Homo-oligomer: A and B are copies of this chain.
Amino acid sequence: MTRIFNFAAGPSAMPLPVLEQAASEMTDWHGVGYSILEMSHRSKEFMGIYRETVEMLRELYGIPEEYEVMFVQGGGHLQFAMIPLNFAVGGIGNYAVDGVWSRKAFNEAQKIGEAAEVACTELRAPRQDELAVTDGAAYLYYCSNETVNGIRYWYRPEVNVPLIADMSSDFLSQPVDISKYGLIFAGAQKNFGPAGLTVVIARKDLLGRAESTTPTMLDYQTYANFESMYNTPPTFAIYISHLVCKWLLAEGGVKEMERRSILKSQKIYDAIDNSDGFYYNNIEKRSRSRMNVVFNLKNEELNQLFIEEALQKGLANIKGHRIVGGMRASLYNAVSVEAAEALADYMKAFAERHS
């Protein structure tokens, strides 16, 4: 086995000890005589895994008792529908748009109910003074980190309506004061676990407002009432997330992840900014993502060679999203400082060879 440095945007790098443990107990989980994949979601063993995962999440983020922690299927795209169905009943969903993912959420909200775009920025997150909510606003929705565009909010918006955030790509990468939010959600496949699992953390008093015609599985109250087990949850994904939470706690939690994220992203941004224009990134500096560093080569003809030589050096999946092109290095929690250093070194050497 030769493991390489994986900068994929999601599904993305996972901690090696998590994968090794999953492999070692794949045919027999803790001596029960069968796999976690073959275990009833209502067994005491699985319920233990499930509840410990919730508890570890509560510990990692300091989630107050007034908040539900729920596991949902359907990815961010289903959240884009569930949020207006549950929170915009009789009101207007307000959206701050600064990239692909907040744009998608706004479009879906318009499809389903009434929605307004309160800000629309490019190459930066909106400033607080640009976030004036509309009359009848039900909530303000924003995406704390735009995975495709490489943009992050450097601050938490303050508004007098519930604040809703898509934290898919910066989940568990920094401390978050959950008490300031109405709801946050995150697709697992960046910092938490396998694709097919979405974590939702929501203030309990905001739930239960969906119309009676709302599909049962699109009503957050269903998840709150049944510990996310109204139907069979994605058990293997939850099991892996359980291992990831353990790893996170052992590594020092979200404060330590934030320290590493700053360090890792700084290495790549330095390689860009010190390249005399060989590489460039046009994002406003304070809005630069720590999770997804996007950059371009001035000479686009070198793109393919840059990707190929990187792979030869064990640096995989650095091609940018098809919508924006160029390169993207995703630096999620499981991507080591060593990996970021190796990429930065490669960038410098490549620039020297081709300048």
A residues contacting B by CB (< 8 A) are 1-4, 6, 8-14, 16, 19-20, 22-24, 26-28, 31-35, 37-41, 43, 73-78, 80-81, 85, 108, 111-112, 187, 189, 194-197, 212-213, 215-218, 230-237, 240, 314, 316-317
Contacts and interface: CB of A to CB of B under 8 A. Distances in A.
Given A78-B217, A111-B215, 17 more contacts: A1-B27, A2-B31, A3-B27, A4-B32, A11-B37, A16-B27, A19-B26, A20-B27, A22-B26, A33-B314, A74-B217, A76-B231, A77-B230, A80-B216, A111-B213, A196-B233, A236-B236
B112 A215 contact: yes
22 contacts: A3-B33, A4-B33, A14-B38, A19-B26, A33-B316, A73-B74, A73-B78, A73-B196, A73-B234, A74-B78, A75-B217, A78-B217, A80-B215, A81-B215, A81-B216, A108-B215, A108-B216, A112-B213, A196-B196, A196-B236, A196-B237, A215-B218
Contacts of A1: 27-28
Contacts of A187: 232
A4 B218 CA distance: 38
Contacts of A9: 40
Nearest to A81: B215
Contacts of A215: 78, 80-81, 85, 108, 111-112, 218
A38 B335 CA distance: 11
This chain's copy number in the assembly: 2
B37 A194 contact: yes
Nearest to A13: B38
Contacts of A41: 11, 195
A218 B85 CA distance: 13
Contacts of A81: 215-218
A3 B77 contact: no
B27 A77 contact: no
A80 B16 CA distance: 39
Nearest to A79: B217
B235 A11 contact: yes
Contacts of A74: 73-74, 78, 217
A171 to B, nearest CB: 14
B16 A38 contact: no
Contact of A27 (B23, B33, B317): B23
Given A16-B27, A217-B74, A316-B33, A38 B195 contact: no
